[in-house]
Amino acid sequence: MSVQAELENPARQRLRNVAIVGATGAVGAELIGCLERRGFPVAQLKLLASVRSAGKTLMFKGRPLVVEPLTAEAFDGVDIALFSAGAAISREFAPLAAARGCVVVDNSSAFRMDPATPLVVPEVNGGLLASRPMIVANPNCVAAIAVMALAPLHARNPIVRVIGATYQSASGAGAAAMAELELSTAAHLAGEAFAPKVLPHPYAFNVFSHNTAIDPATGYNGEETKVMDEIRKLMAAPDMRVSFTCVRVPVLRAHSMALTLEFEGQVTAMEALSWLADAPGVRLVNDSENNHFPMPSEATGVDDVLVGRLRGDASDPTGRSLTLFLAGDQLLKGAALNAVQIAEQYAL
């Protein structure tokens, strides 16, 4: 029986008091939606945010809930807290919540590479939750989406090298970046000047390197480094050779990426398609006849990661490499949905 089916079984449900930290942000809104849509057994939902956002009203199951200010005492009596308010907030408040007996699922980078904190995508390494850790890290959105395709392939034929290029949407930079894309596009179409305020470059009809700092020693930006390190940790493959180029594209929501994979043994596209066909959380979109492959427009609002365009890597004469394309909703599997799926393991 699946986790979702068990949650829908009244005999297995025990209501939990849940808190969302950063409830007024883009991921916070999706967390609320995921809890409601998936029927999470919520006894009481507490919405927490900065003092500036406290007092706002958000809806849950048709009922208005007032956003409360974030304090350590706010976690008293809370069973599970879903954090999405940035690394500094998580470092300060996650240990305080855990000390009060509250399980923390953290969506920031604060604990992802901490050796003592599990980094989890339930379909990939959910077994790490069996020991019931008090703090669990939610991966970077690109890493979470990528491993949904990598893990089922790696299980059949070990992957030794990954080369990735991402096409990352505005949603990865939050609600303000999404608004800036809409406003700058409208201004561009109207022939009006628009000065970017959220992102460092003009966003309408433009692409640019991901807006995180470049490490002068490696030449990789912060996003690329996070993705590479987290994929290795999620896959329990510290020696996997991984290189990513992360690019921001003018898409409102859902990230896409092209991946070239080198395997330990020879592999064909047909074999890989068969391995992905029954992978949980993966949907094949691979219609060559109609040139229909994964697109962010079709991944938006969808729980599954769309995978397709599988083909042999023409640059590798050994027959051990494949190239594929995928798209996944950054706010869902890349953030809120994955966090709620982790929390569901604690609700059984």
User: What are the pLDDT digits (tens) for 175-196?
Assistant: 899 999 999 999 999 999 999 9
Residue tagged active-site, from 34, 102, 210, 255 = 255
Catalytic residue among 141, 154, 210, 246: 141
Stretch 95-118: mean pLDDT, rounded?
Answer: 97
Question: Which CATH number is associated with domain 3-110?
Answer: 3.40.50.720
User: Would residue 201 show up in a list of annotated catalytic residues for this protein?
Assistant: no
The whole-number pLDDT of residue 13 equals 62
User: Quick check: 312 pLDDT over 70?
Assistant: yes
Is the pLDDT confidence value at 209 over 50?
A: yes
Average predicted confidence (pLDDT) for the chain: 95
Q: Residue 126's CB: how many other CB atoms inside 10 A? A: 16
What is the per-residue pLDDT for 3? Answer: 59
The tens digit of pLDDT for each residue in 163-177 reads 999 999 999 998 899
| Confidence (pLDDT) at 12 | 52
What pLDDT score does 11 carry?
Answer: 46
Name 81's bridge partners: 19, 104
Q: Is 143-330 in CATH node 3.30.360.10?
A: yes
Domain ranges of the chain: 3-110, 143-330
* pLDDT of residue 2 exceeding 80: no
Model confidence over 27-77: pLDDT tens digits? 999 999 999 999 999 999 999 999 999 999 999 999 999 999 999 999 999
The CB density around residue 285, as the number of other CB atoms within 10 Å, is 18
The DSSP bridge pattern shows strands 321-328 and 255-263 to be antiparallel
Average confidence (pLDDT) over 234-248: 98
Phi, psi of 322 (to 5 degrees): -130, 155
For every residue of the chain, which 3-state class applies, written as one string?
CCHHHHHCCHHHCCCEEEEEECCCCHHHHHHHHHHHHCCCCEEEEEEEECCCCCCCEEEECCEEEECEECCHHHHCCCCEEEECCCHHHHHHHHHHHHHCCCEEEECCCCCCCCCCCCECCHHHHHHHHHHCCCEEECCCHHHHHHHHHHHHHHHHCCEEEEEEEEEECHHHHCHHHHHHHHHHHHHHHCCCCCCCCCCCCCCCCCCEECCCCECCCCCCEHHHHHHHHHHHHHCCCCCCEEEEEEEECCCCCCEEEEEEEEECCCCCHHHHHHHHHCCCCEEECCECCCCECCCHHHHCCCCCEEEEEEEECCCCCCCCEEEEEEEECCCHHHHHHHHHHHHHHHCC
With a cut of 50, say whether residue 261 has pLDDT above it.
Answer: yes
Mean of the pLDDT values across residues 114-134? 97
- The amino acid occupying position 255 is H
pLDDT digits (tens, 9 = 90+) for 265-285: 999 999 999 999 999 999 999
- Region 83-90: mean pLDDT is 96
pLDDT of 105 reads 98
Q: What is the pLDDT of residue 8?
A: 57
Concerning whether 141 is annotated as a catalytic residue, the answer is: yes
For 226, phi then psi, to 5°, come to -60, -50
